Amino acid sequence: MDRIRIVGGNELHGELPISGAKNAALPLMIASLLTKEPLTLNNVPRLADVKQLERILENHGVDLAVQGRRRGEDEMRGQRITFSAADIVDTCAPYELVATMRASFWVIGALLAREGEARVSMPGGCAIGTRPVDFYIDGLQQLGATIEIDGGYVNATAPNGRLKGGPVKFPRISVGATHVIMMAATLAEGTTTIQNAAMEPEVVNLGECLIAMGAKISGLGTRTITIEGVEELHGAETDVIPDRIETGTYAMAVAMTGGDVLLKGANADHLEAPLKVLEQTGAKISREADGLRIVKNGNAIHAIDAEISEYPDFPTDLQAQYMALMTRSNGTATVRETIFENRFMHVAELMRFGADIAVDGQKAHVKGVAELKGAQVMATDLRASVSLVIAGLAAKGETIVNRIYHLDRGFERLEDKLSRCGAQIERISG
């Protein structure tokens, strides 16, 4: 099993390209199931989760044409992939394909909308909380679907082969459920209003793609999204937005190690809350024509509290990285997680570096220490994995990060990008 070896202590300098957002690419790929015509996506990241969803879509009958897959083909630019779902050959998403990635469950909305039926295995993915699919199921039922759960599968059918629009209100904000219901509603009969919808840029990216495909959608970027169903959608071409989580991750790495890095292609508008907190810690952040520049000198890292909440607030997917940064602060910072109930699994691993962290329910109190020391650590989930990399970059001595398949799910060529900016980091195979 691959590992990452880091020798800490180097500042980061140079340009670091930001990849397309995984959390946008996955629902955009699934949207290809809604039309018989080709859907072309630009700036698709080369990630394990993208490859897995490609397999799932091919199982449903989607043909793929990929440019930029091979090494050496513009490695620091995303892939261009055309998805052609002229015929859906199978409306079942089996356990062996769905079990490893939660977002694969989202095919249920698109399949149900287009084919009037779907059989999808209950999802898997990172063990960072319960994340039930109740919201998805309740939403589809409010659109008229008949749902049965049998043997670990969700069996869904639409009366007379077509869903019916109507009001859908989520009891709690859910990005995944917003994706699913928005896709399902595009081909439903009548008008659907999603209340308590997610406002994330990735939801807006999907909605704008669906509009380009002929969907009638209003209210993107607000808590109420309205969709007027149409008879069919057509092909389109859409760019995957830059990954705001990757952007925030590398910004925090620079803030921790020191240096001067241009995050090329980053969109600062998608990260206003965490960037504001990062500036308070002492980093200098400036918007430039081709990205976002992060500069940090040798001065102290200020301890600043952070509350994790839904967009546009501080994102949960940056919580672990921020906690790593605070381990070297000049005081004590409190990080409060309000999204997932089990997202402090990285704390024990950070403490192997010598971090001083006390967990109290959904709060973590991080007391800065003068020095972190390299250690053998183990990745626990996708985002927590990269917090260990950040700590290793700033730690004295050698760090080995094990179980890095989590990293490959969400960070494209991480070690290549960091090494080009001066980090001493390498992948060890086997």
Task: Report pLDDT digits (tens) over 87-132.
Answer: 999 999 999 998 888 889 999 999 999 999 999 998 854 443 444 6
| 70 CB neighbour count, 10 Å cutoff | 10
Known catalytic residues?
126
Q: Residues annotated as binding site for phosphoenolpyruvate? A: 22-23
In 233-290, where does DSSP find H-type helix? 244-257, 272-280
Residue 382 has pLDDT above 60, yes or no: yes
Within 13 Å of residue 239, how many CA atoms lie on the same side as its CB? 6
CATH code for residues 22-239:
3.65.10.10
What's the DSSP call for residue 167?
E
CA–chain centroid gap for 410, Å, is 7
Burial call 313-344: b when 16+ CB within 10 Å, e when fewer: ebbbbbbbbbbbbbbbbeeebbbbbebbeebb
Residues sharing a CB contact under 8 Å with residue 419, sequence separation 6 or more, in sequence order: 425, 426
Q: Residues annotated as binding site? A: 22-23, 102, 317, 339
**With the C-alpha atoms ordered 107, 265, 335, 3, is the resulting torsion angle positive or negative?**
positive
Residue 74 has pLDDT above 90, yes or no: no
**Position 402 confidence tier, pLDDT thresholds 50, 70, 90:** very high
Average of per-residue pLDDT across 198-206: 98
pLDDT at position 124, please?
57
Cis peptide bond prior to 274, omega within 30° of 0: no
Superfamily of domain 3-19+242-428, CATH level 4: Enolpyruvate transferase domain (3.65.10.10)
Q: Residues annotated as binding site for UDP-N-acetyl-alpha-D-glucosamine? A: 102, 317, 339
Residues sharing a CB contact under 8 Å with residue 319, sequence separation 6 or more, in sequence order: 306, 308, 335, 337, 343, 383
What are the beta bridge partners of residue 427?
4
Structural domain boundaries in the chain: 3-19+242-428, 22-239
- The alpha carbons of the chain give a radius of gyration, in whole angstroms, of 22
Tell me the average pLDDT of the chain: 94
- Of 10-24, 72-86, 250-264, the range with the lowest mean pLDDT is 72-86
Residue 335 has pLDDT above 50, yes or no: yes
pLDDT in tens, 129-155: 444 688 999 999 999 999 999 998 999
pLDDT at position 345, please?
87
